[in-house]
């Protein structure tokens, strides 16, 4: 039902989040068949750390992602225990090791930031800078734009500082204010403070972007109406038919 609805709205790409890891290969093949019938593609998945754990978990994640036609397996957030410079570097080592094991299967790894990764560590580096510096160049930095804005960071400067690493981006807007004012992450795409035209120009010219995903954390509209309005706003802003 969801796939059919978003396809009808005009979306071309979807991203499944971590519960997909519980799917069986047979169920995943059914989902792939539905996507093929609807003209949808899944180029990336969001994953818990279990998907990057060598052993049966990693093998299972690889199998499902290959069925889906995915190119990127993205870690949705770091394990809660991750802290300090050494802790984040250790996580990067684990991700780099997993990324090497993904390569023969036509897959790459990635990391999705939230607000927390813009905080500075004891060495003066922001967590996201440690991640970028300690993972392979082909490892994707999946930018969640709204959380970057809320943290007071500059998404355009971040993209320009890390050429080629933003194969996929989450287009989530943000505006100062709270839920009562329908602000924060509840604003639709194009209603917040993000300089979208400048950012996407940088993503295309420098960032290596291959596709874009609209992400929304609730709004004043229903879920599907929100999805429709965000896509309409994107098309209006960029002159898409």
- Lookup: tokens for 7: 């396809």
For the segment 64-113, what is each residue's pLDDT rounded down to a tens digit?
A: 999 999 999 999 999 999 999 999 999 999 999 999 999 999 999 999 99
- Lookup: tokens for 132: 């970028």
- Lookup: tokens for 64: 């499902």
For the segment 5-62, what is each residue's pLDDT rounded down to a tens digit?
A: 999 999 999 999 999 999 999 999 999 999 999 999 999 999 999 999 988 999 999 9
Going from the N-terminus, what domains does the chain have, and what CATH number goes with each?
A: 1-114 (3.20.20.150), 139-241 (3.20.20.150)
What pTM did the predictor assign?
Answer: 0.96
Q: How far is CA 56 from CA 63, 67, 111, 225, 227, in A?
A: 10, 17, 21, 40, 36
- Lookup: tokens for 97: 């090791």
User: What distance in Å separates the CA atoms of residue 155 and residue 201, rounded to the nearest whole number?
Assistant: 12
């Amino acid at each position: 039902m969801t796939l059919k609805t978003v396809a009808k709205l005009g979306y071309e790409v979807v991203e499944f989040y971590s519960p997909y890891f519980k799917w069986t290969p047979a169920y995943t093949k059914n989902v792939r068949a539905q996507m093929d019938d609807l003209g949808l593609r899944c180029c990336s998945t969001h994953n818990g750390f279990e998907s990057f754990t060598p052993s049966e978990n990693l093998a299972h994640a690889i199998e499902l992602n290959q069925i889906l036609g995915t190119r990127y397996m993205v870690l949705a957030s770091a394990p809660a225990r991750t802290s300090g410079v050494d802790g984040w570097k250790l996580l990067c080592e684990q991700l780099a090791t997993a990324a090497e094991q993904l390569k023969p299967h036509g897959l790459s790894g990635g990391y999705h930031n939230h607000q927390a990764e813009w905080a500075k560590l004891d060495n003066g580096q922001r967590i996201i800078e440690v991640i970028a510096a300690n993972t392979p160049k082909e490892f994707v930095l999946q930018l969640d734009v709204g959380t970057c804005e809320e943290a007071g960071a500059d998404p355009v400067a971040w993209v320009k500082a890390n050429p080629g690493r933003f194969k996929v981006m989450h287009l989530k807007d943000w505006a100062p204010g709270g839920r009562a004012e329908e602000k924060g992450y509840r604003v639709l795409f194009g209603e917040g403070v993000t300089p979208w035209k400048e950012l996407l120009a940088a993503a295309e010219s420098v960032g290596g972007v291959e596709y874009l995903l609209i992400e929304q954390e609730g709004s004043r509209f229903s879920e599907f109406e929100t999805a429709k309005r965000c896509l309409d706003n994107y098309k209006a802003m960029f002159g898409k038919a």
